Structure formats: structure tokens, C-alpha cells
Amino acid sequence: MASRLSRIWPTLSRVRLSAALGSRCVSQTPKSSASNAAVASDLQPVSPAAQDSHGHAEVSPFEKNPDFHGFHHHDSFVDEWNMRLAFFFGISVAIVIGGTFIHYLPDHGMRHWARREAERLIKQRESQGLPLMTENYYDPSTIVLPSSGEE
């Protein structure tokens, strides 16, 4: 079913869309600097080799090398090894090993410890019926205040 659809879809789309798009494929916006800038202009004469790689106008690199990975156009050996090294150093080393290193970093500032300690103390005090926190941080009997008569 899908293969049948894929065979007739190009004709279908061409019939349906080309009628609508036929006259509209040419840009009809007034020439302004913004729209001019949005389209690449030929600044220098491009060599045929550059044209090939840039525009892929004539030959797609996938024709010559079906396993083209996007790294090197003409040499499939370099292309393949570039892909392998990029994946190895990018994912296996940087993300996996680096990620493991980051995961096992020590608890900076004891923040995770502080959260666990707080939860432990809350559970402990609730089970003992004590208030979660006493109002006075210091014992008031140890505080010596000057009497109001002195200076």
C-alpha cells in the first residue's frame, strides 16, 4: 500500500501543486534589501569544483559514496574515520566519560547533605513530638545583658 502510494505520489503532487504553484514560484515581493540579502548572491566567480560541493547541482556525493557521512567529499576513507573519531571523542569520551565524572563530583557546599540532614532531623523531631525548631538559637540563660542603668 505504501509502495503504491510512493509511486503515485510524485505524479499526484505535481498535478495538484504545480497548478497552484506554477505561476507563484517566482518571487513577487518587491525588491528590498532584506529579501535581496536573504538570497545568496554570486560575489566571486565560483570554480566548477566549488559549485559541485556547494550547490550539489550536478552530482550528489551519495552517488559516488552511498555511505557518505558529510565529512569529506572525495575520500571515503577519511570521511569514515572522521565520523568515527568525531563520534568517539564527542559522545564516548566527552558525554559518557565526562558525564560520569560530573555525576560523581563531590557534594559542593554540602548542599545535598544539608537537605538529607534536614529531612532526617524533621522525621526525628516529629516522632519525638518536639517542635521542629526552637525559637532561641542560644540558651537565653547564657546571655549577659548590660543593665539599663549603665551607659
Partner 1 sequence: MLKVLIPTIMLFPTIWLTSPKWLWTTTTAHSLLIASISLTWLKWTSETGWTSSNMYLATDPLSTPLLVLTCWLLPLMILASQNHINPEPISRQRLYITLLASLQTFLIMAFGATEIIMFYIMFEATLIPTLIIITRWGNQTERLNAGTYFLFYTLAGSLPLLVALLLLQQSTGTLSMLVLQYSQPLQLNSWGHMFWWAGCLIAFLVKMPLYGVHLWLPKAHVEAPVAGSMVLAAVLLKLGGYGMMRMMVMLDPLSKELAYPFIILALWGIIMTGSICLRQTDLKSLIAYSSVSHMGLVAGGILIQTPWGFSGAIILMIAHGLVSSALFCLANTAYERTHSRTMILARGLQVIFPLTAVWWFIANLANLALPPLPNLMGELMIITTLFNWSPWTILLTGLGTLITAGYSLYMFLMSQRGPTPNHIMGLQPFHTREHLLMTLHLIPVILLVTKPELMWGWCY
Interaction site with partner 1 (CB under 8 A): 10, 13-14, 17-18, 21, 25, 33-41, 43, 47, 49-50, 53-56, 60-62, 68-73, 75, 78, 81-83, 85-87, 89-91, 93-95, 97-99, 101-103, 105-106, 108-109, 111
Q: How far is the CB of 31 from partner 1 (least distance, A)?
A: 14
122 contacts 133 by C-beta, under 8 angstroms: no
Compare residues 50 and 130 and give the one whose CB is closer to partner 1: 50
Q: How far is the CB of 137 from partner 1 (least distance, A)?
A: 22
Q: How far is the CB of 89 from partner 1 (least distance, A)?
A: 4
Compare residues 56 and 116 and give the one whose CB is closer to partner 1: 56
CA distances from 67 to 15, 83, 89 (A): 34, 11, 21
CA 61 to centroid of chain Cα atoms: 27
Query: How many whole angstroms separate alpha carbon 57 and alpha carbon 93?
Result: 37
Compare residues 70 and 129 and give the one whose CB is closer to partner 1: 70
Compare residues 17 and 121 and give the one whose CB is closer to partner 1: 17
Compare residues 95 and 130 and give the one whose CB is closer to partner 1: 95
Query: How many whole angstroms separate alpha carbon 144 and alpha carbon 151?
Result: 15
Q: How far is the CB of 113 from partner 1 (least distance, A)?
A: 12
Longest dimension (CA), the chain: 104
CA distances from 71 to 54, 55, 61, 68, 146 (A): 14, 16, 11, 8, 80
